[in-house]
Amino acid sequence: MEKKHFFDTPGNLKKFLKVFFASLIALIVIDPFIHKHPYFAFEGYPSFYATFGFVACVVLVLAAKYILRPLIKRKEGYYD
């Protein structure tokens, strides 16, 4: 018999996602009330680091797909 893990049950996964998204919403709601000490002015904008992280992730994926992949890609019969 195979061992069941926490996320194998759909009910547990739904509960986890509800708690996860609730915590994200709570963080977004309390973000304007937290005093920040920005070094640059744009760091003080609400959700700046979340937006910066998302944009950086998208840029990295696009760079890997369109710049790095053609550089390291080999022809189909390369290893034959």
Q: pLDDT by residue (tens digit) across 18-74?
A: 999 999 999 888 888 888 889 999 888 888 888 899 999 999 999 999 999 989 988
pTM value > 0.85: no
Q: What gap in Å lies between CA 5 and CA 16, rounded to an integer?
A: 13
What length does the chain have? 80
First to last CA, the chain: 41
Q: What 3-state class would DSSP assign to 80?
A: coil
